[in-house]
Structure 1
C-alpha cells in the first residue's frame, strides 16, 4: 500500500440497540449528544437469582457504564444492524395488510426457521417495492416456501405482492417480478385455476412487446424464440454436481434450471418443449430440491 493510500474505514452510524447488542468499538451517545470513549470490553452482570440483569461496558477511558438488560441505548457503531429475533419481530408495529405485516404473519408459522426469519428480519423494518434487492428477497422467500417448506399458501401471500407490480422499464427490478409471475402461473395451473395461470403468463410475456422499433422488435423476437427452443437447462452442471456429491452446487444449478423451466412454461412452452413436458420436469425439480428427497432414477439421470 502506498503511503498516500488509506484503508477504507467502515461506515459509522448512529443506531439504537438493545443493551445485549452493544459491541466492542461502539461509542455511547452522552447526555450532551457527543460520543463517549470506545467500548473496550463487555460483561453480563446477573441479579441475585442468576438472571442477566446488567450489561457492564468498560470504556477506553477506564470508565465503566452499566445498562439494564432489555433496555435500549443510542450508540455510534460500525457494526451491521443486528437481525431481529422472533420475539423482536412480533413487537414491531406494522400497518395491517402491508408487506411487512404479511412477512410477520408468515414468520409466525416458523418461529425457529432461520430461512424464514432472516429475510423477514431484514425486511420487516420497511419493504421498499422500488428496491431491486427487496423484490429479490421477497421472491427468494416465496421460492423457499414452495420448494423447501411446501407452504404454497404462504408463498401466495408474497407472490400476490410481487405480481401486482407493473413493468416500469427497469429490467433489473423486473427480473424478480417476472420470476414471481412465472412461479404464480405454474402454481395457479397446478391448483386448477387455469384462467389465473393464463393471466400470469400474459403478464410475463408483456415484456416481449416493449420494443417500439420494428426492426429491433423483430430481432429481439427471433433471439427470444431461439432461447425458448434451445434453453440452457444446466444439464452438464447438474450431472457434475451429482457425480461429485456436491449437494450445494447441485441445489444451485437445479434452482436455476427450475427458474428456466418456469419461464418457459409461462411462455406456453416452445417448439422443443411443450407445456406438458415442462410441467413434468418442473415437478421433478421440485422433488429433487425438496429436503429429505428419496432419490431414485431421476437423481442419477437428470
Structure 2
C-alpha cells in the first residue's frame, strides 16, 4: 500500500497537479515511473473525483482528488533550447522566458519538457504551458511574461475536447485577470472561456450540465480542508501547492463573471490575498 512506501527524498504534491513527465512513486514500492498522461474523472454529479495517471509502461494508477502523490525530484537542463528553437516560435518564447528566471526550478523543468517541441493539440503540452504561465504569475510576479504565455493558450478555440479545454480555459482565466484594467480585452477572454458552456446540443443534457455548472460556481471547491490540514501540520510546501490550486479556481470563477454567491470584486480581493499568502510561504520555504 502507498502508506507503507519509503517516501524519503520524495516530494508530496496534490494529485491534481500531476503532469506528464513527472516521476511518480508507485503503490508497490518499486522505482518511480514516468507519467505519460493524466486525466481527471468526474463523479456522477460532475465533480472531479479521480486523477488517473497513465505511466510510460502503460500501467494506470488512480488517485482520489484531494489525496497526495509522491514525486521524485527531476532536474532538467534547457541545454541551449532557445538557440535550437525556431525564431519566433512558442518553444523559443518559453525558453527565453525561463532563462529570465534561472533560479526557479519549476520553470526550468517545465521549459525543459516544452523545449522538445510544443504541440498545441497535446493535452500534456497545454497543461505544461498553463502551469508555466501560472508559475510566472504566482511565484515570480512576472505578469507580462505570464500573459504572453497564457495567450498561447487563449488563442486556441474550443474543439469539443474537454480534456484539452480545461488547460485552455485556465490560460483564458489567467489572461482575463491580468488584463482586468482593460475592460474590452478582459471581456474577450471572459467571453471565450464560456465557449464550452453551450456545447451540448441535447436540451436535457444541456439543462443538466448548466445546473451542475451553476452549483460549481456557487459552491466551488477551494480546498479549505486541505489547506487547513497542511497549515495545522506545519507543512508549508503542501499548503503552498493547495493554495496555488485555489488560485486557479478563483481565477476561473472571476473570468466566468463570478456567481450568485461570489461577486467579481470579492474574487479579485481573494485572488490578491492568495497571491500574497503564496508569496509569504515561498519566502518562508526559501529561508
Match of 1:246 among 216, 223, 235: 235
Per the alignment, residue 234 of structure 1 pairs with: 223
Unpaired segments of 5 or more residues in structure 2? 1-32, 34-73
Assess if the C-alpha contact under 8 Å between 2:138 and 2:244 holds in 1.
no
SS in 2 for 1:127: coil
Out of 244, 251, 262, the position equivalent to 2:251 is 262
If the length of structure 2 is used for normalisation, what is the TM-score?
0.69
- Structure having the higher Rg: 1
Q: Where has structure 1 moved over 6 Å in runs of 4 or more?
A: none
Task: Report the equivalent of 1:113.
Answer: 104
Q: Partner of 1:152 in structure 2?
A: 143
Rate the CA distance shift 1:220–1:85 in 2: closer, same or farther, 3 A: closer
CA contact (8 A) 2:176 2:255 kept: yes
**Alpha-carbon RMSD:** 2.5
Q: 1:103 aligns with which of 94, 103, 107?
A: 94
State how far apart, in whole Å, the 1-side matches of 2:175 and 2:189 are: 7
* Residue 220 (str. 1) matches residue 212 (str. 2): no
Retained in 1: the 8 A contact 2:82–2:92?
A: no
TM-score (norm 1): 0.66
Q: 1:6-17 residue pairs with structure 2 within 5 A?
A: none
Report the alpha carbon displacement of residue 235 of structure 1 after superposing the two structures with TM.
Answer: 1.4
Please name the residue that 2:69 is paired with: none
Query: Structure 1 residues 203, 87: CA separation in 2 closer, same or farther (over 3 Å shift)?
Result: same
- Report the Cα offset of residue 116 of structure 1: 2.0
- Higher mean Cα deviation, 223-232 or 279-288? 223-232
Task: Return the offset for 1:275.
Answer: 0.8
Structure 1 gaps, min length 5: 1-9, 11-81, 296-302
1:229 and 1:117 map into 2 onto residues whose CA distance is: 37
SS at match of 2:197: helix
Task: Report what 2:160 is aligned to.
Answer: 169
Deviation, 1:294, is: 7.7
